[in-house]
């Protein structure tokens, strides 16, 4: 989860991440261990070398989980899953036996950050990619992580993997992604952490103006950009999946529930029922994180029981707009056993309806 600050009681996300990249053809002059500064180094694509640290509760990390699964990189980049709650110090691997990540051998993600930058001064965020040999974080630059998984790891994508960053659509994607990030992905946080009525109302109006724009855009097209799923859809989905469960009440984004916005609700269900999306959505972790960790907003820590996740399996009818999830490609295969969301946290995963859209 990204760190944030308040400026004149308005929430501002700190986007100063460790911006090293993992590239298919890195510049030797920027190799790790040289004179190049942290944040400007280039690491080589190397199967088995890196560990993706995530938390299913976090929308930014959920993007990386979805992209890794859609591209079939499970056997190439291992994944460590932190629990949904954390203190001010660090995300922790409390879901693992002994509360230690079995690949990295550490209990706290902070240990990997400090292995890279002793006394790391910023927030300990997910997703983060860790270099297994050194145990040090390579990057936590979440938008670049997923783009590079698509563009730099192509030699290791599964057969039938979708192109989530089509060259011919990138200019349009950049424009759509920018507004979605500013007004929706980050917009819900601006509402939830607003320090004054004025800053809250400003963020609230920006959020719902953007959601209305998305409703109109998606009324005539199945996906945000192009005829198939792209990362633009991934980036919007992780916010929509949390909207009714957390943002509507907890963050005061309460003009309308997602389920009361017909076009966006059908679009979200379409994606949810597509392998890679709903089967990586952990409503239990989502609610536990937002309601238990954000005690400044929810002092009691009481976690709501609703809403009922089964509504996500209702027919969406979006096939009529044309397009298909994976174009000429195929849906990803089963999730590895150790990475499955517990059915107790998402009861829809015990049913067959979740895979319906993959046949569309």
Structure token pair of residue 150: 């698509």
Cα distances from 82 to residues 109, 122, 152, 193, in angstroms, run: 8, 18, 26, 24
Side-chain half-sphere CA neighbours of 24 within 13 A: 11
Who contacts 312 (Cβ-Cβ below 8 Å, separation ≥6)? 268, 269, 272, 273, 278, 348
**From 17, 189, 223, 272, the catalytic residue:** 189
d(Cα 111, Cα 279) in Å, to the nearest integer?
Answer: 30
Cα distances from 360 to residues 2, 189, 274, 279, 317, in angstroms, run: 35, 34, 9, 17, 10
d(Cα 271, Cα 233) in Å, to the nearest integer?
Answer: 8
120 part of the active site? no
Name the β-bridge partners of 44. Answer: 23
58 part of the active site? yes
d(Cα 237, Cα 185) in Å, to the nearest integer?
Answer: 9
**From 11, 17, 58, 290, the catalytic residue:** 58
Measure the CA dihedral 225/191/270/351, to 10°. Answer: 150
CB of 323 closer than 8 Å to CB of 221: yes
CB of 164 closer than 8 Å to CB of 70: yes
Angle at CA 132, nearest 5°, toward 50 and 156? 25
DSSP per residue, 187-203:
HHHHHHT-SSHHHHHHH
What positions carry a catalytic annotation? 58, 189
């Amino acid at each position: 989860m990204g760190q944030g600050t308040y400026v004149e009681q308005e929430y501002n996300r700190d986007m100063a991440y460790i911006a090293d990249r993992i590239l298919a053809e890195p510049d030797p002059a920027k190799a790790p261990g040289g004179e190049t500064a942290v944040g400007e180094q280039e690491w080589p694509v190397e199967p088995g070398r890196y560990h993706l640290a995530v938390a299913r509760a976090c929308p930014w990390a959920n993007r990386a989980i979805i992209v890794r699964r859609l591209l079939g990189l499970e056997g190439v980049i291992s994944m460590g899953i932190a629990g949904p709650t954390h203190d001010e110090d660090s995300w922790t691997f409390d879901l693992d036996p002994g509360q230690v990540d079995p690949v990295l051998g550490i209990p706290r993600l902070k240990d990997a950050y400090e292995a890279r930058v002793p006394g790391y001064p910023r927030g300990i965020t997910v997703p983060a990619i860790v270099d297994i040999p050194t145990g040090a974080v390579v990057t936590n630059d979440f938008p670049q992580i997923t783009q590079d998984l698509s563009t730099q790891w192509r030699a290791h994508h599964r057969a039938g993997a979708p192109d989530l960053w089509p060259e011919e659509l990138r200019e349009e994607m950049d424009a759509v992604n920018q507004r979605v990030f500013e007004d929706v992905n980050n917009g819900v946080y601006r509402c939830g952490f607003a320090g004054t009525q004025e800053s809250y109302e400003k963020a609230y109006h920006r959020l719902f103006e953007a959601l209305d724009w998305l409703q109109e855009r998606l009324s005539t097209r199945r996906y945000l950009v192009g005829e198939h799923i792209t990362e633009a859809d991934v980036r919007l989905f992780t916010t929509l999946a949390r909207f009714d469960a957390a943002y509507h009440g907890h963050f005061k984004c309460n003009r309308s529930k997602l389920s009361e916005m017909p076009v966006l609700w059908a679009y979200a269900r379409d994606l949810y029922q597509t392998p890679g999306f709903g089967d990586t959505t952990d409503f239990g972790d989502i609610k536990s994180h937002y309601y238990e960790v954000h005690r400044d907003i929810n002092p009691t820590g009481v976690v709501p029981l609703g809403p009922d996740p089964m509504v996500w399996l209702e027919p969406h009818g979006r096939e009529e707009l044309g397009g298909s999830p994976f174009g000429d490609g195929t849906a990803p295969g089963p999730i590895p056993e150790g990475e499955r969301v517990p059915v107790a946290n998402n009861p829809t995963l015990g049913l067959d309806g979740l895979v319906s859209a993959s046949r569309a």
